[in-house]
Amino acid sequence: MLKAKILFVGPCESGKTVLANFLTESSDITEYNPTQGVRILEFENPHVTSNTKGTGCEFELWDCGGDPKFESCWPALMKDSHGVVIVFNADLPSHLKEIEMWYSCFVQQQFLQDTQCLLIAHHKPGSGSDKGNLTLSPPLNKLKLVHSNLEDDPEEIRLEFIKYLKSIINSVSESRDREEMSIIT
């Protein structure tokens, strides 16, 4: 069975935990409580299988606290990760600047491919969720960007997340195949 580790990172109060719980079908959270360090959610998704063998896949979703005081822990969190989801509140201009730092630290410094990264512009309930006028600077503008609004269209983000998980599993599977071939030859 293939196993993949996905990090959920981003600024404080961007909605990482709410999204993580929704996407892994974990418990609902009714009030804001900042994540201290990291929360690890293990789950399987019946819509995602290894393309070569049709076997199931296990995922670890690491819901990382956005407070900079946990920065000393980040190298340990990043170890052996297969993908990074950067969640930000699209309604806060400060978050647009902050996600550049998250991208640099969690994607570029870890030598992950842009295809292993997903940007989620999370719109909190009652925010109005304007999907149109979000301008990202390079290199963020090359990344896959999806908008999430769990109040108006929860299934859209679920479908986009499944597509992302499939691409991560394909990457993990190809990497494993290359590794096995190098051992054989």
Return the higher-pLDDT residue of 88 and 90. 88
**Is the Cβ–Cβ distance between 102 and 86 less than 8 Å?**
yes
Tokens of 69: 């005081």
At 142-152, the pLDDT tens digits run: 999 999 988 88
At 8-25, the pLDDT tens digits run: 999 999 999 999 999 998
What pLDDT, on a 0 to 100 scale, did the predictor assign at position 109?
Answer: 92
CATH number for the domain harbouring residue 124: 3.40.50.300
Number of domains in the chain: 1
Say what angle helices 154-184 and 16-23 make with each other, to 10 degrees: 80
Report residue 132's pLDDT band, with 50, 70 and 90 as the boundaries.
Answer: low
Q: Is 180 exposed, middle or buried (0-12, 13-18, 19+ CB in 10 A)?
A: exposed
Separation of alpha carbons 34 and 101, rounded Å: 20
Domain that holds residue 34: 1-182
